[in-house]
Amino acid sequence: MASSDILSQALSSITSIKLEELSIQRSTFENAKAELLKAVDAEANQTEKVRMLVDRIESFPSISKVKLGDNAPISLNNIKKFLKQARYDPSVSMELQKSWQIKLQEALDGHSRRYEYASLYGNLVSEWLSASEDGAGSSAGKSTVEEVGRNEMHEQRRTWEDYVFKAHETDSSAVDSYLKAFCRVMTEFANLMGLKFNKEKTGSVKITRKGEKLDKVAAGLPKGDVRWGLLKLDLVTGRFVIDQDSVDEHIEELQLQLRACKSVIEWIQVWNLYGVRYFTTNFGRLANCFGQVHVEMILETFTRIQSQLFASTGGSVTSTLKKMIADRFGVKDIPEGYLYFPMSMGGLDLKSPFVGLNLIHDTVARNPDTYMDDYFTNEESEYRKAKMLFDNGTIPGLSVALRYSVDRKPFMSFEEYTRYREQTSRNLRETYVALTAKPETKNVDQTSDVSSLISSSDWKSLQPSQQWIIQLYAADMISRFGELNVVEKGMLPTGMVSAFRESRFKW
């Protein structure tokens, strides 16, 4: 039996046990909560209402998981002390005591929601495992990505496998002769080795200075666009731009993959891998040479991808996912934080393509052309300075004899001075490094409500994108659940789910 099958059975068994335990805990908690709230409503005295809540909450099943202590919005220990003061001090008003009652009841409601979403998480895992078992057979554990797709995708895969796994008969003497001569063109070599160039990705472009007339490419060079991933080189601007026609083809492919998913978790993973990772990778590694305009072009394209994919379900991945979960499990008004939070916090670990781009949007070069403009300006200035020293005979460290000999020779031309700049110029190297460097991320600030729930060391251990997501949805999640963790550690096998999910999906 494959290791993934063993892990699948173990995860299914553990999840079933955890769900059964969770159901018992939830039922016990909700019954006790309903009984308490009924008694509180029947009590006329405001102080007694609060006292009843404080006394009963501590004895609730699983109440240790309701955070009403240090660093929480409200403290049971403090309320006990304040109630003693209220017996004698009329300045502890009824309005203040009413606010304590509201906060305590909100804490109970938050714990109810955590039970609800813990159950939802377990049901999502069960659906995922069940869908794989029903449709997989001997191929259990494989992603839907391998089963559906455009014919073009499967043809490309077969072609790649033919090149890798099938030996091509070659003439070793002809190969040796070619290598010794080394004067034939690339096409001859490809024909000799049984290779073929991908014509869609083979082309040539001649880029001219701004304002100059475009020249035709030499006859011997391949026709077509210069491409990388989903980018193509624009011959007018000299910049790589996103090929929107290719994006449309992959939107259709992604739609096929998502429709073939049989569970919510599988749907999320396909979105993470294809809808986020694949597009992000093939839009090019973010660097200063692309400039801020490229980042904004990617952001606009991701907006178009979502609006085109999910036009009938709200125009976004979150609206679509919320509707899917509501239709299948009856849970409505799902917070975005539950979808985006990492699995370690009880979330579904949905990925957003917009977060990483916004982290570097303000630090990427606004106009990368200025890097080379500054270099050429400085280079010309250095040339004039060197020529002046030479012409004046004030070259530092030069002996009298050599100075007399150079007086009779003119200083080198600017063309000669810059001839080997690629090999000798330190400034050019520094400019190149700056242009190819990845922009620094501009992290979000940790606010007080988040710092009270996540320590400084734990916060620093999070990735910048995770910090962004937590800060973005923290207020809503805290108001709903009383804290940031949706599912308590140990309540469900979130660690196993995360590890198993990674083992089953490959791109």
Q: How many beta carbons lie within 10 A of that of residue 272, not counting itself? A: 19
The pLDDT, as a whole number, for residue 111 is 85
Give the pLDDT confidence of 115-145 residue by residue, as tens digits.
888 888 888 888 887 876 665 544 444 454 4
* DSSP-assigned states of every residue in 43-108: ---HHHHHHHHHHHHTTSTTGGGS--STTSSS-HHHHHHHHHHHTT-TTS-HHHHHHHHHHHHHHH
Is it the case that residue 361 has pLDDT exceeding 60?
yes
Which of 116, 144, 172 finishes a domain? 144
Task: Examine the domain organization and report whether 269 and 347 are in the same domain.
Answer: yes
Q: Tell me the torsion sign for CA atoms 317, 125, 497, 343.
A: positive
The residue-averaged pLDDT of 192-202 equals 75
Both tokens of 152, joined, read 């073009």
Q: Which of 228-242, 263-277, 348-362 has the lowest mean pLDDT?
A: 228-242
The pLDDT, as a whole number, for residue 219 is 66
Decide which of 423 and 222 is more confident.
423
The pLDDT, as a whole number, for residue 351 is 96
The pLDDT, as a whole number, for residue 177 is 59
The pLDDT, as a whole number, for residue 64 is 45
Which of 436, 455, 470 finishes a domain? 436
Q: How far apart are CA 236 and CA 205, in angstroms?
A: 10
The pLDDT, as a whole number, for residue 158 is 75
The pLDDT, as a whole number, for residue 193 is 77
Domain range for residue 453? 242-365+442-504
On whether the CB atoms of residues 325 and 264 are closer than 8 A, the answer is yes
Longest dimension (CA), the chain: 111
The residue-averaged pLDDT of 249-266 equals 94
Q: How far apart are CA 153 and CA 305, in angstroms?
A: 19
Is it the case that residue 176 has pLDDT exceeding 60?
no
Is it the case that residue 498 has pLDDT exceeding 80?
no
Helix (H, G, I), strand (E, B) or coil at 170: coil
Both tokens of 158, joined, read 């077969």
Strands (E), 165-320: 227-228, 231-233, 240-242
Q: How far apart are CA 40 and CA 82, in angstroms?
A: 19
Which of 118, 144, 170 finishes a domain? 144
Domain count, the chain: 3
In a domain, 53, yes or no: yes
The residue-averaged pLDDT of 291-301 equals 96
In a domain, 203, yes or no: no
Task: Examine the domain organization and report whether 275 and 409 are in the same domain.
Answer: no
Give the pLDDT confidence of 213-248 residue by residue, as tens digits.
666 766 666 777 888 899 998 887 888 999 999 999
In a domain, 380, yes or no: yes
Give the pLDDT confidence of 396-417 residue by residue, as tens digits.
665 555 555 555 678 899 999 9
On whether the CB atoms of residues 389 and 395 are closer than 8 A, the answer is yes
The pLDDT, as a whole number, for residue 179 is 43
Task: Examine the domain organization and report whether 140 and 20 are in the same domain.
Answer: yes
The pLDDT, as a whole number, for residue 282 is 95
Task: Examine the domain organization and report whether 406 and 314 are in the same domain.
Answer: no
- Pick the most confident of 184-193, 449-458, 467-476: 467-476
The residue-averaged pLDDT of 44-64 equals 81
Mean pLDDT of the chain: 82
Task: Examine the domain organization and report whether 75 and 124 are in the same domain.
Answer: yes
The pLDDT, as a whole number, for residue 47 is 92
Is it the case that residue 21 has pLDDT exceeding 60?
yes
In a domain, 120, yes or no: yes
Kindly give, in sequence order, each residue whose CB lies less than 8 Å from that of residue 26, ignoring residues fewer than 6 positions away: 115, 116, 119
In a domain, 385, yes or no: yes
The residue-averaged pLDDT of 355-373 equals 94
Task: Examine the domain organization and report whether 120 and 7 are in the same domain.
Answer: yes
Is it the case that residue 149 has pLDDT exceeding 50?
yes
The pLDDT, as a whole number, for residue 114 is 86
Task: Examine the domain organization and report whether 481 and 351 are in the same domain.
Answer: yes
Residue 182: band (very low, low, confident or very high) from pLDDT cuts 50, 70, 90? very low
Is it the case that residue 291 has pLDDT exceeding 50?
yes
Task: Examine the domain organization and report whether 108 and 57 are in the same domain.
Answer: yes
Is it the case that residue 181 has pLDDT exceeding 60?
no
Task: Examine the domain organization and report whether 465 and 324 are in the same domain.
Answer: yes
On whether the CB atoms of residues 224 and 200 are closer than 8 A, the answer is yes
Is it the case that residue 31 has pLDDT exceeding 70?
yes
468-497 core/surface letters (b: 16 or more CB in 10 A; e: else)? bbbbbbbeebbebbbbbbbbbeebbbbeeb
DSSP state of 139: G
Q: How far apart are CA 193 and CA 180, in angstroms?
A: 16
Task: Examine the domain organization and report whether 27 and 111 are in the same domain.
Answer: yes
Decide which of 209 and 203 is more confident.
203
Task: Examine the domain organization and report whether 288 and 430 are in the same domain.
Answer: no
On whether the CB atoms of residues 496 and 14 are closer than 8 A, the answer is yes
In a domain, 176, yes or no: no
Say how many CA atoms lie within 13 Å of 446 toward its Cβ: 16
On whether the CB atoms of residues 341 and 485 are closer than 8 A, the answer is no
In a domain, 223, yes or no: no
Helix (H, G, I), strand (E, B) or coil at 283: coil
Is it the case that residue 497 has pLDDT exceeding 80?
no
Residue 491: band (very low, low, confident or very high) from pLDDT cuts 50, 70, 90? low
Q: How many beta carbons lie within 10 A of that of residue 193, not counting itself? A: 13
Task: Examine the domain organization and report whether 423 and 447 are in the same domain.
Answer: no
In a domain, 361, yes or no: yes
Q: Tell me the torsion sign for CA atoms 208, 209, 210, 212.
A: negative
Write down the pTM of the prediction.
0.77
Both tokens of 441, joined, read 């991320």
The pLDDT, as a whole number, for residue 122 is 84
DSSP state of 492: B
